[in-house]
Amino acid sequence: MGSNTLLEWIKNYLLNLDDLEIIVLGRSKKEQSLESRIKDIVLGTEGVSYLGSSINFKEIEVFLKRNVKYVKYDLRFPGLGISDDYKKALRRFPIDFFIHEGASTDLRLGASISEISQIINVSGTQKILELINQLLVKEFVYVGTAYSCGDVSGDVDPDFINRTDEFRNSYERTKLEAELLVREYAEKKGLKYRIFRPSVICGRLMESPFGAINKFDVIYGWGAFFLKLKLKTLKMSFESGLKTNYQMDVRICFRKEGGLNIVPADYAAKLMFQVCVQNLPGKNFYLVNPIETPHDRYLLGMIKAFNINGVRWVSNIPNDQNRIEEFYYKTVGRIFTPYINATPNRFNDKNLRVMTKRQGLICPEISDINLKKLISYALTKRFGL
Ligand SMILES: NC(=O)c1ccc[n+]([C@@H]2O[C@H](COP(=O)([O-])OP(=O)(O)OC[C@H]3O[C@@H](n4cnc5c(N)ncnc54)[C@H](OP(=O)(O)O)[C@@H]3O)[C@@H](O)[C@H]2O)c1
């Protein structure tokens, strides 16, 4: 989401780049500095493709040097790891939009994951609020998740808050807890704010290369489980293992008539950008796909693309599990069954409809054709394995 957000802002300012200044809060990685990571995102092949092949490479390079400030931070560190002097220096720049997207997105269960989610998502957001208290921020934007709503059925409004304390995992709980901190802080301080809640993010489907994404979790993670298992059993190279037909007797429990709300990352970034710059009325927005993707389409679609046979739908978790099923329901199945077997609901995105119509923004459906594009791209990256 972060890369798509950045690219979308730059794309919209290509004709007047001098009017855009960005402060990127981020981390360096291994040997790569934050500045170099951002340069790769924007001026790497996929970034250039997002911006449009006619861009002036040199001009963007200058923009990244002159108009972008790179602030190394970590949501786990006291004061975010930013020195007081630097914070004072940042106060000289009035900020139109402060977008907080960083988070731990680990859906796994367990005490240690819960602790990390609490530190990064909740305490980290608290630290971000302490930071903006020292800056001149005109509008605060928080990216939450649609699935913090829990297992609710029917129409879910964008300002719905799950007060049941029933969540599928600590990720959902901590993302909502952080959202509530943002609301409380902003209301108290009279700060303008918006909350965006994306559903399940998939690769790009509006800006080429289609399928582009840099992390293969959530639905991709579900697929990667089966691909990894197949490759490990066959003991073949990725390419030969993928092509080989393989029988895997697994019964997957999911709601047959149900679906998952899967939204392309570029579409979500475009919605967010337009809401902010058009100053749309409202504080809460679902960034979702108007058309749900049936579970059997994307789940069994991935299995088919991996040339795995024998995976079947069942309405209940089987009691007489074979070895693979035991493994599945203890690991990936444990994380995903609450999503793929959930009560059907519908995230209400009516407050975006006038804008999307005006802008001609149409969310790509995860049709069989688009699913193929997502899978093909993910396979070029070996599903992150
Ligand atoms: N993926 C989904 O399906 C989905 C759905 C709904 C909502 N969201 C929300 O969308 C936002 C972006 O998620 P994403 O899917 O794009 O995940 P992502 O690629 O893992 O992005 C998370 C970002 O948070 C940063 N981050 C993690 N721990 C950090 C720390 N300790 N200090 C500073 N930065 C840290 C990561 O930095 P590095 O790059 O340095 O690791 C990364 O840039 C999150 O708020 C997430 O909750 C995601």
Ligand 1, atom 1: closest residue by C-alpha: 201
Domain 2-215+261-291+346-366 matching CATH 3.40.50.720: the answer reads yes
Tell me the per-residue pLDDT of 273-283, one tens digit each, with 9 for 90 and over. Answer: 999 999 999 99
Q: Compute, in degrees rounded to 10, the torsion defined by CA atoms 145, 151, 154, 157.
A: -30
Beta strand ranges found along 16-112 (DSSP E):
22-26, 68-72, 98-100
d(C-alpha 214, C-alpha 208), whole Å? 14
Atom in ligand 1 nearest the alpha carbon of residue 171:
47
Section 9-37 average pLDDT: 96
Which of 4-13, 62-71, 151-160, 199-208 is least confident?
151-160
d(C-alpha 221, C-alpha 152), whole Å? 24
- Cβ 182 under 6 angstroms from ligand 1: no
Residue 153 pLDDT exceeds 90: no
Query: Among 72, 99, 101, which is best to mutate for testing ligand 1, by the most ligand atoms less than 8 A from CB?
Result: 101
Section 18-36 average pLDDT: 96
The percent of residues in the chain predicted with pLDDT above 70, rounded, is 100
Ligand 1, atom 11: closest residue by C-alpha: 101
47 touches 41 (CB < 8 A): yes
Cβ of 287: how many Cβ atoms within 10 Å? 29
- Cβ 101 under 6 angstroms from ligand 1: yes
Residue 230 pLDDT exceeds 90: yes
Rounded distance from Cα 107 to ligand 1 centre (Å): 12
pLDDT given for residue 348 in this prediction: 97
Residue type, 216: F
**Phi and psi dihedrals of 345, rounded to 5?**
-140, 175
Ligand 1, atom 31: closest residue by C-alpha: 75
Residue at token pair 């602790």:
115
The percent of residues in the chain predicted with pLDDT above 90, rounded, is 96
DSSP tally for the chain: helices H, then strands E: 16, 14
Distances (CA, A) of 156 to 120, 140, 160, 201, 256: 27, 23, 6, 19, 21
- Cβ 255 under 6 angstroms from ligand 1: no
DSSP state of 122: I
Collapsing DSSP to helix, strand or coil, 121 comes out as: helix
Atom in ligand 1 nearest the alpha carbon of residue 102:
24
pTM of this prediction? Answer: 0.97
- Cβ 264 under 6 angstroms from ligand 1: no
Rounded distance from Cα 101 to ligand 1 centre (Å): 6
Rounded distance from Cα 1 to ligand 1 centre (Å): 7
Rounded distance from Cα 256 to ligand 1 centre (Å): 30
Positive/negative CA dihedral, 256, 315, 171, 32: negative
Rounded distance from Cα 375 to ligand 1 centre (Å): 21
HEC secondary structure over 214-260:
CCCCCHHHHHHHHHHHHHHHHCCCHHHHHHCCEEEEEEEECCCCCEE
Tell me the per-residue pLDDT of 236-274, one tens digit each, with 9 for 90 and over. Answer: 999 999 999 999 999 999 999 999 999 999 999 999 999
Query: Among 3, 104, 105, 128, which is best to mutate for testing ligand 1, by the most ligand atoms less than 8 A from CB?
Result: 105
- Cβ 103 under 6 angstroms from ligand 1: yes
Tell me the per-residue pLDDT of 335-365, one tens digit each, with 9 for 90 and over. Answer: 999 999 998 899 999 999 999 999 999 999 9
pLDDT given for residue 165 in this prediction: 82
pLDDT given for residue 30 in this prediction: 86
Ligand 1, atom 20: closest residue by C-alpha: 105
pLDDT given for residue 141 in this prediction: 98
Cβ of 19: how many Cβ atoms within 10 Å? 8
pLDDT given for residue 54 in this prediction: 86
pLDDT given for residue 316 in this prediction: 97
